[in-house]
Structure 1
Amino acid sequence: MTTTKRPVGRPATIADPRQTIMAHAARMFATQGYENTSLSQIASATGISKAALYHYFPAKQEIYDAIVVEMLQSMKDQVWARVEQQSSFKDRLKAFMTAHADFFQDNYQEFVTLLHGISGTSRGRSAEELAARARYENALRSLVQSGTEAGDIRQQDTAVVARAILAPLNAMPRWFNPKGTRRAAEFAEEFFDLLFEGLRQR
């Protein structure tokens, strides 16, 4: 039986190839690190040739950038959909923290890739990644500012408060067990109680 070879660079027939490549790459970046993951390994895990991989992503950094930018935009959309369902500042902040934690748990590999997949490397951040991060953090700062203006929390530097809110949430990949009995949002509620008590107007 004669096997017909695909032309070099022609993508293999797989469902939703870009998303499939990104999913396998995210898992590998999260578990073995960005620098320890090669394009050949990603292609092998995806079940396509390296030439086919190049059809979608000419470089490893482009895969990483695509994962991070897509994840940040999805996180912003999902988190703020929950925030907008609430009216008071207290409930909106709690919704932000629990929704952020839910997104982290539901997208564990991609989130770990975002925070730790390139730990210790010198890889630069793309303009798209920086812009996506800025949109997310600026939305949180605006939420904090609204709480200050409403008199719900003490006057503080909004950037510092936003970092204090994100710090315990973004540290969760270091210790959270996604196979454990407690959801990430439960821990986020405890973080919220501690933070809000320290921030609220007295």
Structure 2
Amino acid sequence: MARIAGSSGPKTEEAIRRAGLQLLYTHGYAAMSLRQLAGAVGIQQGSLYNYFRNKQEFLFELIRSHMRDLHAALDAALLPEGNGVARLTRFVEFHVAYHIERPQEVFICYSELRSLEPENFSAIVAMRRDYEDKLIEILEFGRATGEFRLADTRMAAYAILAMLSGICTWYRPGGRLSKDEVRETFLGMVLSLVSGVGMEESLPEPPRLAEVSRSGARRR
């Protein structure tokens, strides 16, 4: 978040950010107060205004900072070349690892999007759409090369992101599955999704009720 003249320094700013993340993660935006935040950092409430104007700006800057970090990390991780499977594999591996490592930021980014005022909401949604577009580009590339069988790459991207991002709500270090096992399981499911039967292929017509009754009747 931007530093305002007269603040006491970046260490205090980082302490405010960490404490705010914990409070938002534990209590939610509506229940968190600036008095709580100041108390968690050990400063006077008035000192917070050296770093942001109000609670809404604090939330917005936290989420925007997270989205900027997410974009930068993804750009560094993606393969500039390679086939569709290799590119999608790298995306999935990155997304899962990032969400495991930063569960608080990810959870707040999703759960508190509704708490943003309209202008701030639109700015974050645009950043999320840019992230989604990078996955869609990979899926479209794989479809063009014949590796992926997808009728609607945008719908597939939404499904993949919804599945992968949910990890921040249930994964716990030291649980039944290791990070590597979670990553490999997710990767297998995603690759199965994109290489399976596409929606443009018609499903077999279901049997008529009379036919089911005849085939299922016992022979006497």
TM-score by length of 2: 0.77
* Counterparts in 2 of 1:132 and 1:16: CA distance versus 1, 3 Å: farther
- What is the identity, as a one-letter code, of the residue corresponding to 1:153? F
Residues 67, 127 of structure 2: 8 Å contact kept: yes
- What is the identity, as a one-letter code, of the residue corresponding to 1:94? T
Q: Distance in 1 between matches of 2:98 and 2:16?
A: 21
Structure 2 runs not aligned, ≥5 long: 198-220
Residues 150, 156 of structure 2: 8 Å contact kept: no
Aligned partner of 1:6 in structure 2 is none
| Cα deviation, residue 108, structure 1 | 2.0
Find out whether 1:166 has 2:179 as its counterpart. Answer: no
The runs of at least 4 aligned residues of structure 1 exceeding 6 Å deviation read: none
| Cα deviation, residue 163, structure 1 | 0.7
| Cα deviation, residue 10, structure 1 | 4.9
Over aligned residue pairs, what C-alpha RMSD do you find? 2.4
2:135 to 137, 140, 144: 140
Q: Distance in 2 between matches of 1:196 and 1:10?
A: 52
TM-score by length of 1: 0.83
Residues 69, 129 of structure 1: 8 Å contact kept: yes
2:102 to 88, 107, 111: 107
Aligned partner of 1:188 in structure 2 is 183
Over residues 170-191 of structure 1, what are the superposed CA-to-partner deviations in whole Å (9 max), with x where a residue is unaligned? 1112211135364445323212
- What is the identity, as a one-letter code, of the residue corresponding to 1:31? T
Q: Distance in 2 between matches of 1:114 and 1:184?
A: 22
Q: Distance in 2 between matches of 1:198 and 1:110?
A: 28
Listed as ranges, the matches of 1:37-52 within 5 Å are: 37-52=32-47
Instruction: Give the % identical residues.
Output: 25
**Which of the pair has the greater relative contact order for Cα pairs under 8 Å at 6+ separation?**
1
| Cα deviation, residue 128, structure 1 | 2.7
